[in-house]
Structure 1
Amino acid sequence: MIKINGKEVEWERAPNFVNNVQRKVLWKDGKTGALFAIYRIPKGLESEEQVPHFHPHANQFRFNISGEMEMPTGAIISFSEDDYGFNYCPKDEEHGAKPKGAKVLKDWIYLHYFDGPDNWGESDARASEDGV
């Protein structure tokens, strides 16, 4: 069994995000690239536009723990210990588009598990490969 104290793991800038999303990698399989990490989007961050993407080599599981975000439409999305959320995105499925101007009102904390390498493919790259 592996036990990790999250306070002993440093925050790092999460790759591929267009803004200052941070993560702590809690576990990574050296053979398969599978990854378990906690992510944080800091309070006060206003998002740039995030284009849709996909993960060509891994299914993605996300457990939203806490945080609050205001969308450009004025809608508020929030999670807490009593009102959390879970997302599953199958390998190669497009997701993750976010409009410019979403504002983080309370640090957004979530866990990610990828069952393979967490590298991204961008949807516009896929379109050009398909000749679209």
Structure 2
Amino acid sequence: MSLRRSLCPCTRQLQKELAGAHRADRPCGKCCFYLLISKTFVEAGRSDSRKKQSSQRKEELVFANAEEEFFHERALLRFSYSVQEESGMCLGGSWSFDDVPMKPLSTVMLVPCNRMSDIMDDLKEHLSV
């Protein structure tokens, strides 16, 4: 499988748009930071504690798109908030009654532009293994 096909479509598109913006010298190619919002989940019982979302261990956060975890690791600022009231029931896929209930979150990440190429390189390296 080629590396190009192994990247998720949104990551490929982001990479293409960033390269195009830099080549065309567009204003969006001169950003200092990127703001990414990811669909994430946490075990329902854990998020009900009085701890803040930002103090959760990284292992507890499950990303809908696993590639976004690379951005999360390099983000300058990150926080999550519940979207349980705004989301519908997610019953797709294979699951059993023994599965742990998950609470839907949106995770916001502020990523400096100078870290984007390193993130993409790490992602490519991880997917090529």
Structure ranking higher on relative contact order (CA contacts 8 Å, 6+ apart): 2
Question: TM-score, normalising length from structure 2?
Answer: 0.30
Structure with higher Rg: it is 2
Higher strand share: 1
Question: TM-score, normalising length from structure 1?
Answer: 0.29
Higher helix share: 2
